[in-house]
Structure 1
């Protein structure tokens, strides 16, 4: 089963075959997709501006961090429920787009267990470097896959690059995809296909011939293969 794509309008976790993939984003009205467990995470607080995040994790304000930490608690509740339901933490993958990506990586950094992985789509690290001491050795073992378009005018490319560098300073494995010279603040099929393969590789699942290669004719940036 393919990993469910990051939903830009809902926070969700889907359980399938002993593993789960959760996507975080500011919630809106639920879609008519297949049933999923949905956390009751609140929308971003008034202090969290929708303007582009700072180009460096060190510049995040205290007010922003307080709002992020409140949202992180809700994501951790979702993760704990998945673990309590019998899913191994290393079989849980967290992902998010934009502010959802920022929430996803913050949740991984502050979670006391090693997860299967985290994917950030056009996001940033919303915590200052002062939080580095709170990142446990187990959390640092969670691998991260980071996608960012170089033409992103909402969350600047520099913010994504700085975020990945911050994770690497913590000793975390962060794969930063920089092959999108003309991609803006968007989520495209090539990213989802690559993310799907990335998850399956970590789960040791053979993809066989079911993993169709996306057509490069439908994209204006480099193929990920």
Structure 2
């Protein structure tokens, strides 16, 4: 009698385990006719995230420019990471600056080889910031580098010399910070990165002519550039420029996500 009881208990336990297994499988497998729910991949997650790097002008600081992000309230920027780094402080001028630009800022295309080495060193630092975000899973198409004045010049150099295509580079009141010889280092992928160039026509610090020289230079290098001139705007950043930048980046974020889907 004891053997029979033990057999029945064993049989009941086996039946119970089988029932639990079947119930578990039913929860995992969708009913016939219904598609399985897709599991978001890390690639898709990267497509939904974006990164905006803002490079300030001579003597300014990163934190002082953080209010710029308030212009970007559209849903497309919900998963945007912002970075406002500060340039190193120069022991010579006691100003924070990305590279030495004592000569070039006043002239449309005045460049000197002795300044190019400083530009290229600053570019390496920007590329390290970009590489960190790419390694964290953000797709290069969703990375935008923007900058004002000296930060705009560094923006241009950084996106042109980055080996991959980025979402875009936005130059405000900037200039071309190197000679034509550097264009040989621009990769075929980098030539696909779109450039937005905005400049005030009343700028007396970085002359408007310096901004006008940008698009022809980029065209000769095979790079697409949209140039926008702002009458009566001096060497400063305007609300109109930031509003347009918001729409410019937003349209490219949408295009990136649509292409991936």
- Superposition misfits of 4+ residues, deviation over 4 angstroms: 31-41
1:71 aligned onto 2:71: no
* 1: CA distance, partners of 2:154 / 2:217: 15
Task: Give the structure-1-normalised TM-score.
Answer: 0.76
Structure 1 partner of 2:33: none
Higher gyration radius (CA): 2
Per-residue CA distance 1:184-225 (angstroms, 9 max, x = gap): 1111111101000001111117xxxxxxxxxxxxxxxxxxxx
Per-residue CA distance 1:87-121 (angstroms, 9 max, x = gap): 00010000000000000000011100000001000
How many equivalent residue pairs? 188
Sort the Cα spacing of 1:32 and 1:73 in 2 relative to 1 into closer, same or farther, 3 A. Answer: closer
Contact 2:61 2:87 in 1 (8 A): no
* 1: CA distance, partners of 2:147 / 2:160: 14
Sort the Cα spacing of 1:90 and 1:16 in 2 relative to 1 into closer, same or farther, 3 A. Answer: closer
Sort the Cα spacing of 1:45 and 1:17 in 2 relative to 1 into closer, same or farther, 3 A. Answer: closer
Question: Where do 1:9-158 residues align within 5 Å?
Answer: 17-25=48-56, 26=58, 28=61, 30-31=63-64, 37=83, 41-42=87-88, 43-44=96-97, 47-49=100-102, 52-56=105-109, 59-158=110-209
* 1: CA distance, partners of 2:227 / 2:170: 10
* 1: CA distance, partners of 2:127 / 2:163: 10
Task: Give the structure-2-normalised TM-score.
Answer: 0.66
Structure 2 partner of 1:204: 254
Structure 2 partner of 1:9: none
Report the RMSD for the aligned CA atoms in angstroms. Answer: 2.6
Gap regions ≥5 residues in structure 1? 1-14, 206-225
* 2: CA distance, partners of 1:36 / 1:141: 23
Contact 1:23 1:95 in 2 (8 A): yes
Say which structure is richer in helix: 2
Alpha-carbon offset, residue 30 of structure 1: 3.7
